[in-house]
Structure 1
Amino acid sequence: MSNLLPVYDIKNLHLSKEGFLVSEFEPYLKRHQKLLQPHGHSFYHIGFFTQASGGHVIDFKKFDVLPNQIYFLTPGQFHQWDFKGKVEGYVLNFNQDFFQSFLHQADYLESFPFFEGDAKNSVINLPVAVSNSLAALFLEMLDLNDHLERKDTDHFRVVALKLFFTVGRFVAKKSGVKSATVHNSLIRDFKRLIEKDFKSTRLPKDYASALNITSNYLNAVCNKVLGQSAGELIRNRVILESKRLLVNNTLTISQIAYELNFTDNAYFSKFFRKYAGINPEDFRKSYY
């Protein structure tokens, strides 16, 4: 394994000039064997298994690979496959601005829980009926791609959005959570702020101030909706970024501490050990 975790750009995978790729899984895997190694990428990636076994890792969380399973990755997430035997299904990749010119709300995709960049919401096991519906939508996208003209790109986007809505309805029905609530909107805004400022801002009261609410209210909503405190969400994002940087073996622990705005190496190591349950050096060794 190389010392540097590869991060693949959309151009590395020979996407169309329109900024997307749809493929059956098996030929995609044969073309891109490098993706079997730990990697990240700068685009959205969706994998749908109709027949498969083994495991995969998303942002250091392990999942079984199962038939009738779909997973969603957002730009920047860590990923690794460990398949056992033949893999059948479909892949959809698209760049970050593929839907922005089509949708009035630029961040619309984030309204789907599986596009929030949280690994625990990224993998969804589907009933056969929903799985069959998704397979039909992937086949429709493949057909559009084979005969693609510029005017058909919007048609392709519509079919992809239908896929997202189909999965979104299943997730909402299964969880019993209505997506359009004041609390969920607040959590979404809070997570966006964390993503933007987690390296420099660590206190819930500072985020609460930016959201024009009290820190007590922010904590109460986080606990009610997510079962976590606001401070936990912030710390978890710092730990996740720490892990992403630690698997890049070219960076020293001191450089990582500096990148994440810790005062010194010792404070970073203490923080990481407390919340990740392992020393930074030992975590790194587990990947090399």
Structure 2
Amino acid sequence: MKEKIPVYKIANLTARPLDPGDFMIEGFQGYLGRQSPHLHSPHRHVFYHLVCFKGGTGHHSIDFTRYPVEEGQIYFMTLGQVHSWSFTSQPEGYVVNFSENFLRNFLLSPNYLERFSFFSGNSQDSVVQMVSPVKEKVYGILDSMLEHYYNHAEKDPDLLRTLLLQLFLTVQNGIETAKPTAQPAVSQKQQLLASFKKLIEQHYKTLRRPSEYAELLFITPNHLNALCQELLGRAAGEVIRDRVLLEAKRLLTNAGMTATEIAYELNFQDNSYFNRFFKKYEGVTPDEFRKAHIMK
């Protein structure tokens, strides 16, 4: 069998697990110094992952979209996303990894993290460039988390949970503050778009036509298309198609699945149709994409 993209657990990466598989925080330099060089190549996590940069140069990618490293940048990754990085100078900052279970019993709502735009699963939303005074507040929270993690975590892990939520709220508040004040009509449109994206996440393997989503949203296909054109500059069908393509690319980085199996998983009629679809929009065949991204 061909090699496949690594999938990491928190216990694989931490020098001092609070509770193996639940949570870790570490300075970025120490974290990189302990890890396998393979960590720089594309890989997945079975946990939530965030990195905050205080310095350094280079780039990182999330779901095959590349971003330059910048001071004050923080990025968030949900389970299953693929990422890699390449640095041209030593990065400074923080790495935080936490499992689904770490906050589950602490929060009343099991869907609480959905309120944060950076946990949407969309790579463009995942990367946040913080400005003063937000970034200084975030650095302070992360310093408090580091101190507590290495000195007091066994006695009171709930303080780590509280600090983690404070970090999320601080970053989200910074994002909202930077946005122009929204008019009520725009807010309703954004809410409808969010509902459309959520439905895509639930049904992209089986529902491919905008009319099917419009029916679920109780609006007309023309209304849905106009909404996407206004807020995203793209047709509704493109939004659905891009989610299918993203999942195809994620699955192709797992060499344990053949192209035929991926075509079946994504509900294509047959492998040849999947190949034509993928090459039309990506410019390469599925096998060519796999060879370009899988770790040798």
Same fold by TM-score, threshold 0.5 exceeded? yes
Cα 1:87–1:6 change in 2 (3 A) is same
Q: What does the per-residue CA deviation read over 1:65-97, in whole Å, with 9 as the maximum and x for residues that have no partner?
A: 122211111111000010122121001111123
Cα 1:124–1:177 change in 2 (3 A) is farther
- 1:262 partner amino acid: F
Q: State the distance in 2 between where 1:29 and 1:150 align.
A: 25
> What residue in structure 1 maps to residue 269 of structure 2?
263
Is 1:165 equivalent to 2:172 in the alignment? Answer: no
- Tell me whether 249-258 or 137-146 shows the greater mean CA deviation: 249-258
Query: Structure 1: any 5+ residue segments left out of the alignment?
Result: none
Q: State the distance in 2 between where 1:189 and 1:101 align.
A: 26
Tell me the secondary structure at the aligned position of residue 103 of structure 2. coil
> What residue in structure 2 maps to residue 186 of structure 1?
192
Cα 1:178–1:238 change in 2 (3 A) is same
> What residue in structure 1 maps to residue 80 of structure 2?
76
- Tell me whether 220-229 or 35-44 shows the greater mean CA deviation: 220-229
Note the C-alpha offset of 1:35: 1.6
Q: State the distance in 2 between where 1:100 and 1:213 align.
A: 35
> What does residue range 1-288 of structure 1 map to in structure 2 within 5 Å?
3-14=3-14, 15-17=17-19, 19-33=22-36, 34-149=38-153, 152-176=156-180, 181-288=187-294
Tell me the secondary structure at the aligned position of residue 189 of structure 1. helix
Note the C-alpha offset of 1:178: 5.3
Cα 1:284–1:177 change in 2 (3 A) is farther
Query: Structure 2: any 5+ residue segments left out of the alignment?
Result: none
Cα 1:208–1:97 change in 2 (3 A) is farther
Asked if structure 2 preserves the Cα contact closer than 8 Å seen for 1:110 and 1:116, the reply is yes
Q: State the distance in 2 between where 1:243 and 1:189 align.
A: 24
Note the C-alpha offset of 1:9: 2.4
Asked if structure 2 preserves the Cα contact closer than 8 Å seen for 1:172 and 1:179, the reply is no
Cα 1:46–1:256 change in 2 (3 A) is same
Q: State the distance in 2 between where 1:196 and 1:22 align.
A: 32
- Tell me whether 2-11 or 132-141 shows the greater mean CA deviation: 2-11
- 2:293 partner amino acid: Y
**For this pair of structures, how many residues does the alignment match?**
287
- Tell me whether 12-21 or 226-235 shows the greater mean CA deviation: 12-21
Cα 1:173–1:278 change in 2 (3 A) is farther
Q: State the distance in 2 between where 1:11 and 1:150 align.
A: 17
Cα 1:7–1:177 change in 2 (3 A) is farther
Cα 1:252–1:55 change in 2 (3 A) is same
Q: State the distance in 1 between where 2:136 and 2:29 align.
A: 18
CA RMSD of aligned residues (A): 2.3
Note the C-alpha offset of 1:177: 6.3
- 2:28 partner amino acid: F
Note the C-alpha offset of 1:190: 2.5
Superposition TM-score, scaled by structure 2 size = 0.88
Note the C-alpha offset of 1:135: 1.0
Note the C-alpha offset of 1:150: 5.9
- Tell me whether 91-100 or 121-130 shows the greater mean CA deviation: 121-130
Note the C-alpha offset of 1:134: 1.2
Asked if structure 2 preserves the Cα contact closer than 8 Å seen for 1:172 and 1:178, the reply is no
- Tell me whether 274-283 or 57-66 shows the greater mean CA deviation: 274-283
- 1:10 partner amino acid: I
Q: State the distance in 1 between where 2:105 and 2:125 align.
A: 26
Note the C-alpha offset of 1:212: 3.4
Shift >6 Å, 4+ stretches: none
